[in-house]
Structure 1
């Protein structure tokens, strides 16, 4: 008769008893969240540090104006600028100008962004699209779009069309470049994993390629918004009858440096606002993507 040996198998590490969270806390080993040194109680809040630069700049500007180092004829002081901004706000000129300029930027961004993203998707997903589109876009993006203002005036007059077209041209290329690069830089491992799972081509594009390209697309959107406001400054010099650029042009004729500074500050604040909007979108849509946030 053959004897039957009894073999005792030790439990694997994954099957061993793991202390519960309550047991760990009872043992005095409560979990502690590790905070970076910059987030310690002794550190200043981030909003204070972020605001310190602009505040210091305004203080230096005020001191230079009060001491006479910066004459009012060259650049009005902060108090004069604030007073002019209040007057423009009370008369309603400032709100009307902001609204007109904002509408122009949004329309131009919608047109240019749609064209840029559509061409980038075609060139990024399909080789024939790359062959037909990419070379033309790479040549066209090197042209300074501001230099096209004379042609835009000849083609579409001096109304709203050349202003919006200028913004659309300025915003299309950054979005095209970033979306195209985002699609082509998708990790090939993800593509192979999708094929292994049996994803169709449409499902692969929807669930793998486009989500992986989204970070680059949002970077392109931030850059395009900056170019949009820069294009607006030039576009509103084309026989504008309303908008922030129109206020600047009128103030230039009368050497009103305070109004010019008000318009520049409004441009900067609007740019900051739209950049904050894109940052918020990044936090919402890229919550799944761990990223370095500084130390």
Structure 2
């Protein structure tokens, strides 16, 4: 018979046994979980201001500064009339029909010159961009001509075409064609060569490559060139209408210069600016519609 040496009523004491830290750190079912805080992007934490308000804040600040300088006498009426006077004069010119009539003539000149310049610039860019022999024949000549100030050609155009509408349209056409040529040509030559190889492997013909690969790839550059061309078209119009014009915004400015009417000149300049802004808005809208397939960075 075995004999136990432990006391008969002794109890086992386990208080001195060390506990397992891993078991202590294990989460319990009844313990509350960590509080999750949603992450909010920095852009959404900013104060939201309507974009139209941000875009108009700059011109409004300039207008306020103009009014302050006029009210304090820093700008006299013979130097620059105050905004209120300009607004009343513009209303009078609209009421008597002189301003809408001049705007119609100027818009017609810009439209015709822009049309001709777009056709010429795009056609030359296609010839030089799609064909190496076209590049050899066209590009060098265009690069030389574009360095000549088109305003300096006005006397030659008057000698060649007279003093009618033709020299005015010609100077606008010349100014418009060069930006379009440069941007369309760069867009064509900037198409990824791997896309061309992929199109050839899919069996596209030469015309198919041009239609489905080259022209869509060159479209962003063409739209950029069109925006530049519109700005130059209005600039060329200002110079063209200063020479022997009998109608248009430039003609009104020449008459105002002869009579020292700075207020009329400012009205005409504001009209030029608004027409250019509207034209740029139209092109940007067209760009968004035609380039929906091309996601781009729009700022933060």
- Of 265, 272, 278 in structure 2, the residue corresponding to residue 273 of structure 1 is 278
Question: 1:59-78 counterparts in 2 under 5 A?
Answer: 59-78=64-83
1:225 is aligned to 2:264: no
Deviations 1:90-144 (A, max 9, x none): 0001101111000000100111110110010010000010010000000000000
1:43 is aligned to 2:40: no
1:177 is aligned to 2:194: no
Residue number in structure 2 paired with 1:165:
170
Residue number in structure 1 paired with 2:243:
238
Aligned equivalents of 1:151, 1:264: Cα separation in 2: 27
Question: 1:27-176 counterparts in 2 under 5 A?
Answer: 37=43, 42-176=47-181
Aligned equivalents of 1:53, 1:123: Cα separation in 2: 42
Aligned equivalents of 1:226, 1:152: Cα separation in 2: 21
3-state secondary structure, aligned to 2:118? helix
1:166/1:88 CA distance change after superposition, 3 Å: same
Deviations 1:151-170 (A, max 9, x none): 00000111101100000000
- Deviation of 1:40 after TM superposition, in Å, equals 5.7
Unaligned runs of 5+ in 2: 1-37
Residue number in structure 2 paired with 1:212:
217
Unaligned runs of 5+ in 1: 1-31
3-state secondary structure, aligned to 1:282? helix
**Structure 1 segments (4+ residues) deviating >3 Å:** none
Deviations 1:204-241 (A, max 9, x none): 00000000000000000000000000000000011111
- Of 177, 192, 205 in structure 2, the residue corresponding to residue 200 of structure 1 is 205
Residue number in structure 1 paired with 2:26:
none
Deviations 1:7-55 (A, max 9, x none): xxxxxxxxxxxxxxxxxxxxxxxxx9x9771x66722111111100000
Q: How many residue pairs align between the two structures?
A: 262
Aligned equivalents of 1:81, 1:240: Cα separation in 2: 24
Choose 1 or 2 for highest CA Rg.
2
Residue number in structure 2 paired with 1:5:
none
Aligned equivalents of 1:55, 1:36: Cα separation in 2: 28
Residue number in structure 1 paired with 2:20:
none
RMSD (Å) for aligned C-alpha atoms: 1.3
TM-score by length of 2: 0.85
